[in-house]
């Protein structure tokens, strides 16, 4: 059996996370989180997980590469720029596990991955992949020229038989205005096969409305599989076969330590089943299980030993 390939495109940053008076350092970013949690749940012989970003040549970047390789992520499509570094973010977490983020990323290397000389060759390779995964943040950090190149890549991949997976992950501070975001999301979703839509983000971007309207709007753009994420509530999966509502795992409040990467890990759990031919119900159950485990630990990436046994 031929090993399938998924490329997950985005940005990883240096993560500083506080616990009381202590601050710990790690690495995180929405797409990196998803990459790690997919790689941990799918045999490498079945699915090769490639992370696609840009880094510097500094010690932080080298540590990132080494840690990703230990997680069995393929890093051969990652560019390194001598004149750039990764971005940085700081997480404050309150007593309920909710978090506040602070970012320093305006000149991060990942913003330039489609602008340097190796990008054309990398895009030629990515166009042959089975799956391309990206998030709203993957697109938000790019300039207009890079976004146009990215859309062209997504279209080329689909033309070659690949599938595009998009997680809306809307962060207003990364965008000029809502109108710009709506247009870019329209363009990306128009070449998307599987969409993960956090309902709170959809409401923030388009205005609050019933989830049925969100599904109808997304279906109209040609998306064939829509996963509505609603935090601790049931998720909703809409396909051509109909609608499924899958309950989330309910945790006591005292077990929720840090909700960082909850949505990212849900998407990873879902895809770890779905891309191996599992049903949308089984995929959503795995998504809920993965997310409910992750939020019981501090930081975006939990210890490997803490992963749920399935």
SS3 51: strand
Task: Tell me the sheet residues that pair with 141.
Answer: none
Task: Tell me the sheet residues that pair with 131.
Answer: 6, 163
Token digits for 218? 């997304």
In the residue annotation, 130 being an active-site residue is answered as no
Which residue reads 């005292």 in tokens?
Answer: 254
Q: How many residues does the chain have?
A: 310
Query: Is-contact 164 192, C-beta < 8 A?
Result: yes
SS3 228: strand
The per-type count for the chain, helices as H runs and strands as E runs, is: 10, 14
Query: Is-contact 228 211, C-beta < 8 A?
Result: yes
Token digits for 24? 């710990």
Q: Annotated catalytic residue: which of 130, 187, 258, 264?
A: 264
Token digits for 266? 């849900």
Query: Is-contact 6 129, C-beta < 8 A?
Result: yes
SS3 13: strand
Which residue reads 């109909």 in tokens?
Answer: 242
Q: How far apart are CA 265 and CA 253, in angstroms?
A: 19
Question: φ and ψ at 248, to 5 degrees?
Answer: -85, 165
Instruction: List own/partner pairs for 243-249 with CB under 8 A and 24 or more apart.
Output: 243/215, 244/280, 244/281, 244/284, 246/281, 246/284, 246/285, 246/288, 247/288, 248/288, 248/291, 248/292, 249/288, 249/289, 249/291, 249/292
Task: Enumerate the active-site residues.
Answer: 264
């Amino acid at each position: 059996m031929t090993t399938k390939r998924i490329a997950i495109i985005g940005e990883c940053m240096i993560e500083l996370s506080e616990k009381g008076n202590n601050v710990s350092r790690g690495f995180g970013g929405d797409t990196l989180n998803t990459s790690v949690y997919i790689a941990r749940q799918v045999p490498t012989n079945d699915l090769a997980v490639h992370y696609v970003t840009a880094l510097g040549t500094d010690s932080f970047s080298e540590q990132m590469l080494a840690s990703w390789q230990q997680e069995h992520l393929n890093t051969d499509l990652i560019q390194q720029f001598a004149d750039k570094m990764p971005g940085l973010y700081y997480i404050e977490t309150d007593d309920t596990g909710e978090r506040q983020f602070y970012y320093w990323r305006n000149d991060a290397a990942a913003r330039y991955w489609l602008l340097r000389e190796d990008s054309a060759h990398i895009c030629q390779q990515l166009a042959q992949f089975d799956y391309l995964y990206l998030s709203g943040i993957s697109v938000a950090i790019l300039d207009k020229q890079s976004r146009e190149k990215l859309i062209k890549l997504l279209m080329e991949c689909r033309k070659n038989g690949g599938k595009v997976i998009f997680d809306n992950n809307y962060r207003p501070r990364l965008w000029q205005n809502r109108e710009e975001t709506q247009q870019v999301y329209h363009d990306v979703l128009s070449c998307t096969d599987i969409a993960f839509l956090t309902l709170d983000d959809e409401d923030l971007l388009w205005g609050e409305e019933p989830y049925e309207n969100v599904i109808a709007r997304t279906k109209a753009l040609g998306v064939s599989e829509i996963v509505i994420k609603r935090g601790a509530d049931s998720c909703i999966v809409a396909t051509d076969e109909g609608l499924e509502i899958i309950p989330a795992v309910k945790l006591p409040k005292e077990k929720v330590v840090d909700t960082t990467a909850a949505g990212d890990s849900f998407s990873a759990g879902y895809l770890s089943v779905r891309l191996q031919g599992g049903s949308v119900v089984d995929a959503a159950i795995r998504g809920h299980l993965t997310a409910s485990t992750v939020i019981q630990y501090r930081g975006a990436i939990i210890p490997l030993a803490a992963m749920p046994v399935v």
